[in-house]
Chain A
Amino acid sequence: MAGIGPLSEEGLVRLLDHEGRRVEDATYDPYVSHLTMDDLRAFWRDMTLTRAFDLESTSLQRQGELGLWVPALGQEAAQIGSAHATRLPDHIFPSYREHGVLHVKGIDLASIMGMWRGMEHSSWDPTAYGVHTYTLVIGAHAPHAVGYAQAMDWDGLVGSGDPEKDGAVVCYFGDGATSQGDVNEALVFAAVNNAPVVFFIQNNQFAISEPTTRQSKVPLAQRASGVGIPGVRVDGNDVVAVHAVTRWAMEHARSGQGPVVIEALTYRMGAHTTSDDPTRYRTTSDEQYWKDRDPIARLETFLTSADELPEDFKAQVEADGKELARRTRESVKGWQRGPVEQMFDHVYGTPHALVQEEKAWFNRYEASFADQEVAK
């Protein structure tokens, strides 16, 4: 891969081409041979529901119901394909755009909006779902993933040979994060400790406005070779290939063979967030090129050509998408702020004199207004 840039398609693992045709790959075909048409329809359904949720959430932000929204538009294959390669003992450290991953892991997307409405900083129980809270500081969760993976190893959850028991960690981050010190330190710590962790880079080609060429001169997966671990590039818009590569990587990590870097080359079809304006830094022809490579359309074409996507199934998924959107809207609008004093809760796990004093002061201050109202 010497001499090629970070957006090159060279070396990408691909099992469905962008026109939805199956491409054979002797190395990775065994990792998808178990997939049935039902499985592929489930992938398509998950991607379609994630997108329906995503579009509704953007609308909710535009209508003033959310402070901010971070669309995953275009990255559905990278997220759904990889998340389906995880299972119960595994643990996931997402960045903050992995709505598709959350959906696959059973977190009701309609329930995660408190964070984006300004009600709370996280919405699900990380232990119950095996999915850590979203981390907004770019790359800061990468060392957490490594430490967690080391601890799984110590707990005897790696390399036992029992597929029900063995687990590994997946850490999601983007192309921008690969420039962060924390991500590079995480790679070093993972490598020297042989930690069971898969670093899953969604190279969506943009860190807000900056193209991946501002982060790297080489394909991001090549970072792996610097620390002596395997790095694989995959077509991030090919859900089947993403699934295959992630399955391989997870088996590698779970069996005690150490960390892996996966770079899924995809495209952020939407804005970085609802505060962003991509028209200032990219062309419509570029956007059109990637619209023609839409990950959902690709699988849809494959299934349709195989006559495996019946109209009634599509109609049902469309209805499910509308229902998810409706529930999301209802959930967002139904959010009520709790008592103000709750903002003082959980700063510490044990009582801290300063927090207690300030909370008591605040309550007295609030009560002083109530007295005046009563007096009137």
Chain B
Amino acid sequence: MTAEAPAAVRSMNLGGAINAGLRAAMERDPKVLLMGEDIGQLGGVFRVTDGLWKDFGDHRVIDTPLAESGIVGTAIGMALRGYTPVVEIQFDGFIFPAFNQITTQLAKLHYRTKGKLSVPVVIRVPFAGGIGAVEHHSESIEALFAHTAGLRVVSPATPQDAYDMIQQAIASPDPVLFLEPKARYWDKGEVDTARVGTQLEAVGGAQAATAEMSRARVAREGKDVTLLAYGPSVRLCLQSAELAAADSVSAEVIDLRSVSPFDMETVLASVKKTGRAVVVHEAPVAFGTGGELAARIGEKAFFHLHAPVMRVGGFHMPYPGSKFEHDYLPSVDRILDAVDRVMAH
């Protein structure tokens, strides 16, 4: 075929894009299966797997017993026999019973066996806050898993990325934590549904897909300050950049997309251009991914910096009651405050 396949562009929200991506992955590869609590007949508590049980049946959309460690542990066993389980952990705060399986087994089996065994399990987690939920339903867990070698940690911010990246995560030979910004499930956007399939069906598609999933995206170009974010914070940074522009500050927004690994090439190119960086995430600032980025920027772009790298994020406390969450979470005001502070240098 010489002509390019016509782009199949559809409007979807982010949750719907994940649903469509899962469907496409399951149609592409009969070894892909979904497991989790309430993902079958109910379609998941956020309805992300809606309709898949009906179309693919009990054997490929599996309602599991209510035990997160058992879910991830049995998924590892299935992966050892050549299946690609996509596991749903119902809420971020419920992943901890599976922490051992994820960090001591899933992350390490490839290394432990010198590559003889691969465990390409994808763990989908609706994560982060902002939806007025009760305790344990709003947590940002990315640093805990990015700290563990052997795992990839990614988070889409747009319907297009949600659609592409879930399929790339499934195709990747490595285990992937796929963090879904639950407050953005209803964000709408245009999705080209053809491109990622072409990538995956090409020779070396899984490697290319893994590499692409690990790259950052310049979400908005600017020249005075770089806003670094992923998942739920990307939209917030774009809003902040819009307001900063009204104040004659040109902010560049980088959607990191991948937390493990970070795409430092894109980050450093931006920071070297702007000389200022603000990292925004919902997770507590202390010992977080913002600290890691700040340190790496400091090591690699120190003489390009006009100001210290600032961090905007959650506080060193358990996630508060939902009536407090909008003061706990980064906001446009707090991002602009940080922008003001770096611009003062």
Q: How far is the CA of A345 from the CA of B112 in the complex (A)?
A: 10
Residues of chain B contacted by A290 (CB below 8 angstroms): none
Is the Cβ of A151 less than 8 Å from the Cβ of B77? yes
Tell me which residues across on chain A come within 8 A of B101, comparing CB atoms.
140, 143, 182
Whether A148 and B77, one on each chain, are in contact in the complex, defined by CB atoms closer than 8 angstroms, is yes
Which residues in B have their C-beta under 8 angstroms from that of A132?
Answer: 80
Contact A122 B78 (CB under 8 A): no
Assess A148 versus B264: contact at CB under 8 Å? Given A182-B73, A185-B70, A345-B114: no
CB neighbours (8 Å) of A127 from chain B are: 116-117
Q: Which of B76, B77, B110, B150 contacts A149 (CB 8 A)?
A: B77
Closest Cβ of chain A to B261, distance in Å, is: 4
Residues of chain A in range 187-214 having any CB-CB distance to chain B below 8 Å: 188-189, 192
Chain B residues near A340 (CB-CB < 8 A): none
Minimum CB–CB distance for A105 against chain B, Å = 16
Which one of B59-67, B132-140, B218-226, B314-322 contacts A?
B59-67
Q: How many residues of B contact A (CB 8 A)?
A: 52
Interface residues of chain A: helix, strand, loop or mixed (majority) = helix
Say yes or no: B211 contacts A350, CB within 8 Å. yes
Alpha-carbon distance A127/B79, docked complex (angstroms): 13
A346 interfacial contact with B, CB 8 Å? yes
Residues of B within 8 A of A346 (CB): 110-111, 113-115
The reply to whether B82 and A151 form a contact with Cβ atoms under 8 Å apart is yes
| Contact pick for B77, options A150, A347, A353, CB 8 Å | A150
Which one, A147, A182, A355, contacts B80 given CB within 8 A?
A147
- Roughly how many angstroms separate A186 CA and B72 CA in the complex, as a whole number? 11
Q: Do residues A143 and B69 form an inter-chain contact, with CB atoms below 8 A?
A: yes
Assess whether A151 is in contact with B172, with CB atoms less than 8 Å apart.
no
The verdict on A125 contacting chain B, using a C-beta distance below 8 Å, is yes
Chain A residues near B67 (CB-CB < 8 A)? 181, 185, 188-189
Contact with B along A158-197 (1 / 0, CB 8 A): 0000000000000000000000011001101100100000
Contact in complex: A147, B74 (CB < 8 Å):
yes
Write the nearest CB–CB distance from A150 to chain B, whole angstroms. Answer: 6
Residues of A within 8 Å of B105, CB to CB, are 135, 137, 140-141, 144
Q: List 24 A-B contacts (CB under 8 A).
A: A120-B114, A121-B111, A121-B112, A137-B104, A137-B105, A140-B101, A143-B72, A144-B73, A144-B80, A146-B77, A147-B75, A147-B80, A147-B85, A151-B77, A182-B70, A185-B69, A188-B67, A189-B65, A189-B67, A192-B65, A346-B114, A350-B174, A350-B207, A352-B261
Chain B residues proximal to chain A, CB less than 8 Å? 59, 64-65, 67, 69-70, 72-83, 85, 97, 100-101, 104-105, 108-118, 120, 149-150, 152, 172-174, 206-207, 210-211, 214, 260-264
- Given A126-B117, A143-B69, A143-B73, 11 other A-B contacts at CB below 8 A? A122-B113, A125-B116, A137-B104, A143-B72, A146-B70, A147-B81, A152-B81, A154-B83, A349-B120, A352-B174, A354-B261
What residues make up the interface of A, taking CB atoms closer than 8 Å to B?
120-122, 125-127, 132-133, 135, 137, 140-152, 154-155, 181-182, 185-186, 188-189, 192, 345-355, 357
